[in-house]
Amino acid sequence: MAQALNAFGHIDLFCSNAGIFTPGGEEVSTADWQRIWDINVMAHVFASRAVLPSMLARGEGYLLNTASAAGLLSQIGSAPYAVTKHAAVGFAEWLSITYGGRGIKVSVLCPQAVRTQMTSGGAGVAGVDGMLEPEQLAQTVVETLAQERFLVLPHPEVLTYMQRKAADYDRWLGGMRRLQEKFGERWKS
């Protein structure tokens, strides 16, 4: 951050993009829960601590935090991933609420499966609506940032799933249970 500020004087857009996947549920070791928490959530906190002071001093800036559709919906086969991605979305919401009136724009990127190292073993349940190429995701990011919208949804189906979840939570949970049955109780990518 300091190098970028020294070289360019200010940061217009900071993309906070770090994430790991840990399969399992409550039985996952405390050390593994802490590791995924530190990477999937705290990395956004640390980035914000570093970049916000200069943005706030200028009265403008843009934060793009990468979460996942799992942060809006859930993740079959990984409680640590589901929980930390929900927290990442929650932190982005908080940033927008807290600093939006002070010139700071915030968007949160929530894709399903994208062809990356994380999906090199297969998309698993996240690929139910297809796997995107990184270039497709980037195009959606550029378009959404130009519109200054909070949610960046490269898979448009995610909005429909969110609406169904909000409209009838119990029915949505039933559908997620069926999805889990389809992909196995302990799905692993």
- Catalytic center residues: 81
- At how many degrees (to 10) do helices 43-58 and 79-99 cross? 10
Residue 20: exposure state from Cβ atoms within 10 A (0-12, 13-18, ≥19) = middle
Please say whether the beta carbons of 100 and 106 come within 8 A: yes
User: For residues 157 and 165, what is the distance between their CA atoms, to the nearest angstrom?
Assistant: 12
User: For residues 25 and 179, what is the distance between their CA atoms, to the nearest angstrom?
Assistant: 17
- At how many degrees (to 10) do helices 79-99 and 30-37 cross? 30
For the chain, how far is it from start to end, CA to CA, in angstroms? 34
